[in-house]
Structure 1
């Protein structure tokens, strides 16, 4: 969103010495089994290179695609591979499933091989992650709780019922609140995890506006702990910070929405936000290399708490890269090789499958094209959700194309008649609130949901920003949302 400025194996030439298999053992506790097992083997080695293999065993729910990640510890460099899409970034190696071997049933195994160079040391990797979940580490069955309902004073478990969001009692609910930006950009810029405080007092200030929802943008490289991110702001440190904020949001009775904002993949075409391959700006579509793993990990983290909502991807804009709108919508749903986008795209169906493959049944939001401002063909291309818990997401600012009631009546109303509709971001760059007043009225009249951008102390004309202080002091723009939420919710 708007942020402040700032082949098949080649023959190996030369002498090759077969050295046998070097396998990383599976470590288990008595009566326990790891979520996944990886056997790493060096099958042959020569002066400057070696041939390796991995055997992956899935010990949990069936998955429709997989991605294995591990780190070379001895300066090895991947040169080629087979039976997976192999890549290396820094020390991190990723093997992602091919179209023919992505389906991995519970208890099933798949193998893949590679060739890499080495010098000085050919140390064996010590840890592996499959779709973001650590392998070869025992998990006691008794430690995995069943999905639970919230406490009476906590947020509701939401589900899509027709075109409404309803709670466990079948009562209609609306998501009304704010975005809390920072988790998408601070970590990749090496400046922290969140922008400004996320202590209890700052979260309580959001609740004092009578908000019932907080949307939390995330960065996939930081969540997955890739080697390009400062470890202080990545991996477990990042995940724990997000979990802590989610817990604080819930403690104040508000629904947390975790959302993927910035992703990997180099795009330098029309409307590119940056030329960086890393997750340092908004890309036109998610990437197949890391995004399915991100969502599998997020879903595994929160699948036992169905009060948490998943927003798949902030603002897709494949329409800026493709020649036709049809191509854009096909890319949006199906991913793959999309015209004008140089990396392999993960489509919305891939991401839904990644979430549901973990067993998570949490509510999912999926935004349309044109930075989530165009839902004109959302119903035609909506991904299939086996859990039947999918809602449409939409974003609008005063400078967007679909920013008037005529467009809303023609393109939004048909969607809202069939599925729940959530305006995940509403805002304007005027430092006033006349435009969002119109948006909120249109959504109020139809019982729909909306979230203001953003609960950060930026210049409201470049943010736009709802607050001038984290104690909840509103900007002129934020006054409109605050007063409206208080009028609605008392």
Structure 2
């Protein structure tokens, strides 16, 4: 979906005050060294948020994986972090090791940081556990913590997925239809200099999506923000951006939902037919991904999530090389092979280039590839589909009431043949009528064939220009969103 023109009005209130270290005291009855010690530090605080850090020291037997837990007494909510996989359920915060810092020998320490919100009070947590063992206090002197490996990503409630024939299935072979919503924001807020997300993405906000009985959330992203290019504010770029995405992915999975990580906005100057902007930077939808940065984005994103088989990759939001080229054959060749494409002034990364970038990392995650005409045309998708050595390729399709292929006749002639051979996911469905008559038709056609679809979008915009499913991040639906909410709840009562 191309985003409606709108002003993003955000103000950061309050000045940041640098605070000294707030250390949790080590309390022992006998003077013995505790099994583990944790130093909790508030490094800076402002009116509604703060930055904190923890230093964990393991004084017991070496472990190959660690998980720290602690509980807040107030309303603090961790929103993002680094050097650990951060998550929060209610008042309980969990920080689990990354793949590269899981080993913690006897006497060794590791540090991790985070950003959180607060209101009323920001009391320091008073108890910590490392792999289930209390820290900063005496434990029984005989036993020591048993070395434990951290749970593999994807071992939670979100299923590991792969392609089997024309279906997406879990590890047990059960078909998994991807039914849910898009969560827009990560593609535009950072490049506009306002933040990373548009609205809250804390546990309560993700729970609100799950309450609609959605099982999938698609996350549009920006390649310049992910790669930390110089035109992006540092606080919204690089590691800060990547960690925020990882945190959201973890929260989505914790609620049993499938995260789809998707490249939405990309680099490359295009001023031709249907251009969304004249900017070389990733500030709008371009007709194709670019060879300069898009393969690097997917190499990095795939490395980040390759050990998490619950994550699905969506290669590029809405290709439209057909608006630049003179023939359909040229457009489809550009779509698959990239290179120098007629009418596009930058070197294009084709779908094959992006599949290759993902698979070169060893990632076997399912990959979605949308067709032409803003992913609304799959008429020659089977002819030009990329080669996937992992055999985990699926087709992506977008449909709105104003698209060309927006009726049963077109779906029967162009979508049904694709769906007979590979999984078909309607990554975006929607309408600009502030009602749901059209998406009701779409959902019925896809339901009849046990296919997947995701509503655009879980944001509080004006439904006639968005369109938007909600009027509040607590899940209050718009008149348009009611259709999807009630349908998902009926499918999964």
Tell me whether the two structures share a fold, i.e. TM-score over 0.5. Answer: yes
Shift of the alpha carbon at 1:155? 1.1
Matched, 1:337 2:350: no
Tell me the residue number matched to 1:365: 368
Shift of the alpha carbon at 1:147? 10
Shift of the alpha carbon at 1:401? 0.2
Matched, 1:477 2:480: yes
Given candidates 448, 451, 465, the residue that maps to 2:454 is 451
Q: What SS does the aligned partner of 2:302 have?
A: helix
Q: What SS does the aligned partner of 2:460 have?
A: coil
Matched, 1:4 2:4: yes
Shift of the alpha carbon at 1:383? 0.2
Tell me the residue number matched to 1:322: 325
Matched, 1:150 2:154: yes
Shift of the alpha carbon at 1:151? 3.3
Structure 1 stretches of 4+ with a deviation exceeding 2 A read: 138-143, 145-152
Tell me the residue number matched to 1:258: 261
Tell me the residue number matched to 2:379: 376
Tell me the residue number matched to 2:441: 438
Count of residues paired in the alignment: 357
Given candidates 389, 400, 411, the residue that maps to 1:408 is 411
Q: What SS does the aligned partner of 2:158 have?
A: coil
Work out the CA distance in 2 between the residues paired with 1:206 and 1:180: 10
Shift of the alpha carbon at 1:173? 1.0
Tell me the residue number matched to 2:431: 428
User: TM-score normalised to the size of structure 2?
Assistant: 0.71
Given candidates 346, 350, 368, the residue that maps to 1:347 is 350
Work out the CA distance in 1 between the residues paired with 2:335 and 2:430: 24
Q: What SS does the aligned partner of 2:217 have?
A: strand
Matched, 1:170 2:173: yes
> Quick one: structure 1 residues 141 and 330, their matched pair in 2 at CA, closer, same or farther if it must change by over 3 Å?
farther
Given candidates 209, 227, 243, the residue that maps to 2:230 is 227
Contact 2:201 2:248 in 1 (8 A): yes
Tell me the residue number matched to 2:388: 385
Q: What SS does the aligned partner of 1:484 have?
A: helix
Q: 1:53-132 maps to which residues of 2 (within 5 A)?
A: none
Matched, 1:290 2:293: yes
Contact 1:174 1:448 in 2 (8 A): yes
Contact 1:270 1:321 in 2 (8 A): yes
Runs of 5+ consecutive residues of structure 2 not aligned to the other structure: 7-98, 105-148
Please give the root-mean-square deviation of Cα atoms over the aligned residues, in Å: 1.6
User: TM-score normalised to the size of structure 1?
Assistant: 0.71
Work out the CA distance in 2 between the residues paired with 1:386 and 1:150: 22
> Quick one: structure 1 residues 198 and 146, their matched pair in 2 at CA, closer, same or farther if it must change by over 3 Å?
closer
